[in-house]
Structure 1
Amino acid sequence: MRVPPLPINDVVALACFLICWLGYGAIAKWQSTRRPSLISTVNIFRARWMRRICQRESHIADATLLGNLLRGALFFASTTVFILGGLIALLGPTMGDVISRLPYSTPAEPWLLEVKALTLIAVFVYAFFKFTWSAWQYNVVSIIVGASPRAADTDATEVAHYVESAAHIAGLAGDSYNKGIRAYYFAIPLLAWFVDPLMFLGVTLVVTLVLYRREFSSPMLDSLRRVAPDGL
């Protein structure tokens, strides 16, 4: 059976979505090397945290903080599983009836609705992998914190290398978590796609602008930069 091509409006909107979602991460990473960003600034505090860990004997507070970070990643991972279950249950002959009840929804063929649902499922599968990987990385950070050397009893060069590696791994865990959250943001335009492709395009652009503003020109970034003006 020959599958009909996607309507041109859906093709344009989907292409814009993929460019914004996949391209935003690369552009934001490149831009953060040229100007302060929320992620790069938080990484400064991660490095400070790892340095302080090597200067104190008790790590009870650090274990509590890492536990909170780990629980956050696991919470979103488990929530994503429930979302995937609901989306998979939506697949089937009843999907058209459900979508047709949405206000302002554009009539669509059943196969096109399935494409939209499968695309949304793919985004949440990606988010699940990112959240579970972030949780695993935070577990590694916990081990690193437990094995951290005392600055008073260890060579300064060794401590510096340890702090750099620990901060890098903590940054990787935070980056995976951030990518999972970003997938949640970009799932919102896919929901709008069920209503109308032009709405899908518009919401994609709005979400991208919101993410960029929060990353590079938010009040939180300004506050963080005021207390971390000198890098480390």
Structure 2
Amino acid sequence: METLLKLVAVLPWPDWLAIALFVGGWVAYAAFARRRAATQASILGATNRIRRQWMLQTTHREVRVIDGVVIQNLSSSPSFFASTTILIIGGLLAVLGTTEKASELVREIPFAARTSVLIFDLKIVVLLAIFVFAFFRFTWSMRQYTFGALLIASAPEASQFTERQLSREAFADRAGRVVGMAAEAFNDGLRAYYFAFAVLGWFFSPVAFMLATLGVVYVLYEREFRSEALEVLNG
């Protein structure tokens, strides 16, 4: 508690303003993207429709080897990022163990802000928290892809959907939603990486931090709602 009060007193108000903009920007954009996707075309919405169509086609296939291969390939991306994130977390923990030397090294970088060791520790802890969040989202994405693979493997044969009057649409909705949730979790992890780059601007100045945060929000919006890939997917 004493350390927290000391931090509140030591950290200048521009830094608090930059932190507020960062947290508010991340939370607000995540909420905005989720709601906007319901009324406007987005990358996630477009790919979710394709996932549902994929699962619908799965019900017509007798042999579903290709579906298992696709699921495996999709799950390899969050697996790679989860492994990479663990290495980043380890590196940040190592930096916390040698804060004074790392702080001196940062001071040698041109235009980098001269701060106390306590504030430098705070910046590292913020980065650490972001990558821990990303790790949990990537691993949850991996598990949900596993759930999707289980649904595909347990699906009745194509002929049984007709013979037993099973609903292909219901299966496509359920399996497509599970795979879509895996993609959403992976998207959250990637978004955390983007915002981690914004935090790097904090090592230079609070203004750079705020500008980087706004820049990340702009880039995310452009890629999710106004990219050429979206036009192709909706074409």
The TM-score, its normalising length taken from structure 2, stands at 0.93
For the structure 1 residues 147 and 63, does the alpha-carbon distance in structure 2 shift closer, same or farther, using more than 3 Å as the test?
Answer: same
Question: Residue 114 of structure 2 aligns to which amino acid in structure 1?
Answer: P
Deviation at 1:145, TM superposition (A): 0.8
For 1:96 and 1:64, locate their aligned partners in 2 and report how far apart those are by CA, in whole Å: 47
The TM-score, its normalising length taken from structure 1, stands at 0.94
Q: Are positions 1:126 and 2:133 aligned together?
A: yes
Question: Residue 25 of structure 1 aligns to which amino acid in structure 2?
Answer: A
Question: Which consecutive segments of 4 or more residues in structure 1 shift more than 6 A?
Answer: none
For the structure 1 residues 100 and 42, does the alpha-carbon distance in structure 2 shift closer, same or farther, using more than 3 Å as the test?
Answer: same
For 1:219 and 1:160, locate their aligned partners in 2 and report how far apart those are by CA, in whole Å: 30
For 1:66 and 1:39, locate their aligned partners in 2 and report how far apart those are by CA, in whole Å: 17
Question: Residue 22 of structure 1 aligns to which amino acid in structure 2?
Answer: V
For 2:62, the equivalent position in structure 1 comes to 57
Question: Residue 200 of structure 2 aligns to which amino acid in structure 1?
Answer: L
For 1:76, the equivalent position in structure 2 comes to 81
For 2:166 and 2:33, locate their aligned partners in 1 and report how far apart those are by CA, in whole Å: 32
Q: Which runs of 5 or more structure 2 residues have no equivalent in the other structure? A: none
SS, match of residue 94 in structure 1: helix
For 1:10, the equivalent position in structure 2 comes to 15
For 1:66, the equivalent position in structure 2 comes to 71
For 2:223, the equivalent position in structure 1 comes to 214
Q: Which runs of 5 or more structure 1 residues have no equivalent in the other structure? A: 227-232
Quick one: percent identity of the two aligned structures?
Answer: 34
C-alpha contact 1:134 1:176 (8 A) present in aligned 2: yes
CA-to-partner distance for each residue in 1:138-160, whole Å, 9 max, x for gaps? Answer: 01111111111234322555322
For 1:104 and 1:213, locate their aligned partners in 2 and report how far apart those are by CA, in whole Å: 29
For 1:108, the equivalent position in structure 2 comes to 115
Question: Residue 35 of structure 2 aligns to which amino acid in structure 1?
Answer: W
CA-to-partner distance for each residue in 1:158-194, whole Å, 9 max, x for gaps? Answer: 3221111101101100000000000000000111111
SS, match of residue 93 in structure 1: helix
For the structure 1 residues 126 and 58, does the alpha-carbon distance in structure 2 shift closer, same or farther, using more than 3 Å as the test?
Answer: same
What value does the CA root-mean-square deviation take over the aligned residues? 1.2
